[in-house]
Amino acid sequence: MTARRISWTTPTPRNADALSPLEKAILATEVLATYVRACWLLSRRDLPTALTRLRGDGVPAPAPAYPFTALRLSHAVTRILSALPMDARCLVRSLVLTAVLARRGIESTLVIGVRPDDEFAAHAWVEANGRRMLPDEGYARLHTL
């Protein structure tokens, strides 16, 4: 039987795009704080005003040291908010994602759509870099912000 040597001094290679547990915790905290702020603003302001305040003054904060793409942030926001026992429907999720993207200098558009079926249904999603960041689920575009 051959003994297997383990080197404790050689670090294991880390994917350059992978987040450390601390970076994941920081992102989750940012998403949750933005969620609370979005819900608070929606309860006190109209949608365009809430969106403007969540996006900030248009001057993005310095980007974090770790790389993000709009699509990766979209997946992160969706995963974090879907774990909440509270209501995180498409409009709030879209507002949170828009704010998180804006902090990183990524321009996005909030889209409100409707489904032209027998029953009226509305949906909100985010588009950035010409791609849908949150699914539109077959809804027709009604208004963009």
Could you read off the pLDDT of 100-137 as tens digits, one per residue? 999 888 889 999 999 877 788 888 999 987 788 877 77
Domain ranges within the chain, ordered by starting residue: 21-144
Residue 12 CA, chain-centre distance (Å), reads: 30
For residue 76, pLDDT beyond 70: yes
In the DSSP assignment, the letter for residue 68 is -
pTM (global) more than 0.85: no
Among the residue ranges 23-27, 30-34, 51-55, 116-120, the one predicted with the least confidence is 116-120
Q: What is the pLDDT of residue 138?
A: 80
Amino acid at 123: H
Measured CA to CA, the distance from residue 145 to residue 126 in angstroms comes to 10
Measured CA to CA, the distance from residue 7 to residue 144 in angstroms comes to 55
**Average pLDDT of the residues in 15-21:** 72
Measured CA to CA, the distance from residue 138 to residue 118 in angstroms comes to 14
Phi then psi for residue 78, to 5 deg, are -60, -45
Residue 119 CA, chain-centre distance (Å), reads: 29
Measured CA to CA, the distance from residue 98 to residue 95 in angstroms comes to 5
The pairing of beta strand 109-116 with beta strand 140-144: antiparallel
